[in-house]
Amino acid sequence: MPAPDSGVDAVPSFEAGLPPGGRPQSTAGLSSGSPAGSDPAGAPPPSGPGSEPVRPSRLSRGAVPAPLLVVFAAISVQGGAGVAVRIIDRAGPLVAVWLRLGLGAVLLAIVRPPWRSGMGRDAWRTAILFGIVLASMNGAFYVAIGRIPLGVAVTFEFWGPLAVAVAGSRRPLDLVWVALAAVGIFTLAGGRLAADDTIGVAFALAAGGCWALYILIGSRLTKAWPDGRGLGVAMLVGGSILAVPAVATGGSWLLQPWVLGAGLIVAMFSSVIPYTLELAAMRSLPPGVFGVLTSLDPAFAALVGLVFLGQALNLPEALAIGLVIVASAGTSLAHARRPAVPDQPLVVAD
């Protein structure tokens, strides 16, 4: 990979403490003030294949406001969801998740091969852990919506990002935005938390816990892999985990060309695009703010249903979407008005 040209903006604060090869050091004193192109320990910059400088992705340089990235990600997810339903109805939820992650990993590997990154062991561990979370989150949720109504499953699942938002709250106003988002999601789900299938509820709750981990570990992934290649590693890990159960349940459906074609579309619009955008947003958004913004997903689902599927919204549903939009806008504006946090040293444990 060629070295960054002189027109590249300054990298975010979490990258300032990384040496040119992008390897986190085991030293506890990695300072954000280290000169560019030098190793704090005095070692020369790494050289040779696989150790070229890590160049942050364009999205990480602030060209697009982070809240807008979350909005675009939500729109992309809903576009892929309509195609995923066809796979779920015929081949099963595990096949849909496997194609989504596996084919997505292939697409990312073609564009940005992860084996050329020259990253350290800590970065690889973070990517592998994130892959396990991706497989668990998507697998649990797809199983849940196969047993209980989608709206109920989303409501149960949303406890995860809301918990992250509450934990990251620093002012009473932050909790107001969290509460508005929660009320909006609850209304969109039909205003009930009842479900006859205990197993379906359990999987939806598990998916919510994984969603919280997705936000927290995803923030770590953006620091460990400034160039964005870690997402490809994570999706490859997630697809590998689900390969055996997906093949066992999918059977001959996996030999159908239309299933593979539909899986490729789902991989692009439900994984590659939204995960890339969300991880870019996580570079500048605190986990709590990101947790509230994720409430836009079900709101966009309802709007897509109205515009493209002719699914009319009643007054409570329209008001619920308004609450979610107000909550997302409020937390975004509050974040934009906060003073910038000074650069912090990056400390990586062995």
Reported as a single tens digit per residue, the pLDDT across 28-37 is 333 333 444 4
**Side chain identity, residue 177:** W
pLDDT of residue 31: 36
265 Cβ contact partners less than 8 Å away, ≥ 6 residues apart: 80, 83
Give pLDDT tens digits for 95-116.
Answer: 999 999 999 999 988 888 877 6
Q: What is the mean pLDDT of the chain?
A: 74
Six token digits for residue 53: 């400088």
- Cα 288-292-294 angle, rounded to 5 deg: 115
Question: Residue 308's pLDDT is what?
Answer: 64
What is the model's pLDDT at position 115?
A: 74
Q: Is the pTM of this model over 0.75?
A: no
d(CA 122, CA 218): 14
Residue 237: the pLDDT is 95
What is the pLDDT averaged over residues 218-223? 91
The angle that helices 198-224 and 150-157 make with each other, rounded to 10 degrees, is: 50
Q: Which of 146-155, 300-309, 311-320 has the lowest mean pLDDT?
A: 300-309
pLDDT in tens, 113-172: 877 667 888 999 999 999 999 999 988 988 887 777 766 777 778 788 878 877 777 778
Percent of the chain with pLDDT over 90: 23
Residue 52 pLDDT > 50, yes or no?
no
Q: How far apart are CA 75 and CA 304, in angstroms?
A: 9
pLDDT band at 339 (very low <50, low <70, confident <90, very high): low
The model's confidence at residue 325, banded by pLDDT at 50, 70 and 90, is confident
Q: Determine the pLDDT at residue 47.
A: 41
pLDDT band at 337 (very low <50, low <70, confident <90, very high): low
Q: Which of 39-43, 52-56, 261-265 has the lowest mean pLDDT?
A: 39-43
Is residue 210 a contact partner of residue 137, using CB atoms and an 8 Å limit? yes
pLDDT at 194: 62
Residue 59 has pLDDT above 60, yes or no: no
Q: Which residues contact 259 (CB under 8 A, 6 or more apart)?
A: 87, 90, 91, 95, 99, 253
Token pair 């934009």 in the structure block, residue: 336
* Cα dihedral: 209, 215, 218, 219 (round 10): -140
Tokens of 221: 């992934």
pLDDT tens column, 4-33: 343 334 333 333 333 333 433 333 333 333
Axis crossing angle, helix 121-145 with helix 150-157, rounded to the nearest 10? 140
